[in-house]
Chains A and B, each alone.
Chain A
Amino acid sequence: MKNKWKTAWQVFTTFFKIGAFTFGGGYAMIPLIQRETVDNHKWVTEDDILEIIAIAESTPGPIAINSATFVGYRTCGVLGSVAATLGVVLPSFVIIFAISFVLRQFQELKAVQYAFQGIRAGVMALLCKALWGMYKKNKKNWVCYIVMAGSFLLTAVLDVSVLPVLAGCAVFGLVTAKIMERKVRK
C-alpha cells in the first residue's frame, strides 16, 4: 500500500516536470512523456506510447490530459491517473493564474497595447500553421473535402453553432464509413 503512494508521488512529480517544461502543449509533450515514462522510469512501453497517441486522437479533450491520465492508470490505477493529471495541470494553472493578474495591471500601458497589436497578426500566422498541420493529417478524399468545406460554410457563413455541426459531421462520417465498408465487401 505504501509502495503505491510512493509510485503515485513519483508519477505526480514526473508529470509536474513535463507540464512545467513543455511549451506548445499536446504533441510537444509526447517526446518528453516518452523519455520520462519509457526510458527513465519504465512505467510503460514504447508501444503504449503509440497506443496513447492513437487513443488521444480519437477521444475528446486535450492530448496532454489524455496521455497523462492513461500513463498514470497503467502505472498505478486510478490513483496514478489523478496524480499524473494533477501534475501536468498544476504548473500551467499557477503560471497562467499569475499572468492573468499581471496582464490586468499592464493592459492600460501604451507599449503593451502596441505590442499586442503586432502580436495579433503573429498569432494569426501561428494559427494558420497549426491549421496546415491538421489539414495534412487528413486523408485526401471527397468525404474529407466535403466535410471541411461544409463545416466551414455552416459556421463561418451561415452562423450555425459549432456543436450541431460537430454532431452532423460525426453522423456523416459514420454513414459514409458504413457505405464504403459495404462497397469493399462487394
Chain B
Amino acid sequence: MMAFLELFLTFFMIGACTFGGGYAMMPLMQEQVGIRWGDIIPQEAITDFIAVSESTPGPFAVNMATYIGSEVGNFAGVWGSLFGSFCATLGVVLPSFIVILIVAKCYDRFRNSAIVKGVMTGLKPAVVGLITGAIVSVASGVLFPAGVSLTVFKTVSFYLSAVIFAVMLVLAMKKVHPIIIILISAVAGIMIGYLGLW
C-alpha cells in the first residue's frame, strides 16, 4: 500500500510543480523516478517511453504517469499495475484540476496579480535551464553508456547515435512529425543492429 501512496504523492508533487506543460515536467520526473524507482525504471526506459508517448495520443504527463505507475505497481500483478497507473495519473492530474477550479472563480484577480507575473518571470526561463540539464543527462546515457571517457570515440555506436541524432534534429526543425522521426530512428536502429554495429 505504501508503494501506491508514494506513487500518488510523488506525481501529485510533480503535477503541482510543473509550469508550462509537457516536457516541462521531465526534469523533476527524471530526478524523482531515479531516486525512488531507479532499480525498476532505468533512465533509458524513460527515454524509450518518451518515444512511445510521442507516438500515442494524449498528453505527455498522463502518458508518463500511467506508464510509470504501471511499472511500479507491476510487483503486485495486473491489478497492481492498474492501481499503480490509477494512483500516478490521479496524482498528476489533481493539482491542476484544483488550481484551475480556484482560478476559474476569480480569474480577473489572478490575471492582474503582480505575484503570479513575478513568479512566472523566474519560472519560464528556469524550465529552459532545467530541461537543458535533463537533455544532457539523456544524451550522456545515449552517447556515453559506459560513462564519459575518451575510449567512447573509438566505438562505432557513438558515431552512429550521433549521426541519427543530427539527421533527426534537422528533420525535427523542418517540422517533420514526431511519429515519422521515431519511425525512421527505429528502422535505422534495427538495420544497424542486424548489421552487428551497435
Interface, chain A (partner B; CB < 8 A): 19-27, 29, 51, 54-66, 69-70, 73-74, 78, 81, 85, 88-89, 91-93, 95-97, 99-101, 103-104, 110-111, 113-132, 134-135, 137-138, 143-145, 147-153, 155-156, 161-163, 165-166, 169-178, 181
User: What residues on B are CB-neighbors of A169 within 8 Å?
Assistant: 122-123, 125-126
User: What residues on B are CB-neighbors of A163 within 8 Å?
Assistant: 13, 17, 28
Q: How many Å from the CB of B180 to the closest CB on chain A?
A: 10
B100 adjacent to A152 (CB under 8 Å)? no
User: What residues on B are CB-neighbors of A144 within 8 Å?
Assistant: 124-125
Interface, chain B (partner A; CB < 8 A): 13, 15-28, 31, 44, 47-48, 50-63, 66-67, 70-71, 74, 78, 81-82, 85, 89, 92-93, 95-97, 99-101, 103-104, 107, 110-111, 114-139, 141-142, 157, 161-162, 164-165, 168-169, 171-173, 177-179, 181-182, 184-190, 192-194, 198
Once the chains are docked, how many angstroms separate the CA of A173 from the CA of B124?
9
B15 adjacent to A61 (CB under 8 Å)? yes
B126 adjacent to A73 (CB under 8 Å)? no
- Across chains A and B, the number of contacting residue pairs, with CB separation under 8 Å, is 389
The answer to whether A117 and B93 touch (CB under 8 A), given A60-B15, A124-B142, is: no
B131 adjacent to A131 (CB under 8 Å)? yes
The answer to whether A127 and B131 touch (CB under 8 A), given A22-B57, A26-B59, A174-B121, is: yes
B21 adjacent to A92 (CB under 8 Å)? no
B129 adjacent to A29 (CB under 8 Å)? no
B129 adjacent to A147 (CB under 8 Å)? yes
Closest to A59 in B: B99
Q: Identify A81's interface contact among B16, B100, B179, CB under 8 A.
A: B100
Once the chains are docked, how many angstroms separate the CA of A114 from the CA of B164?
13
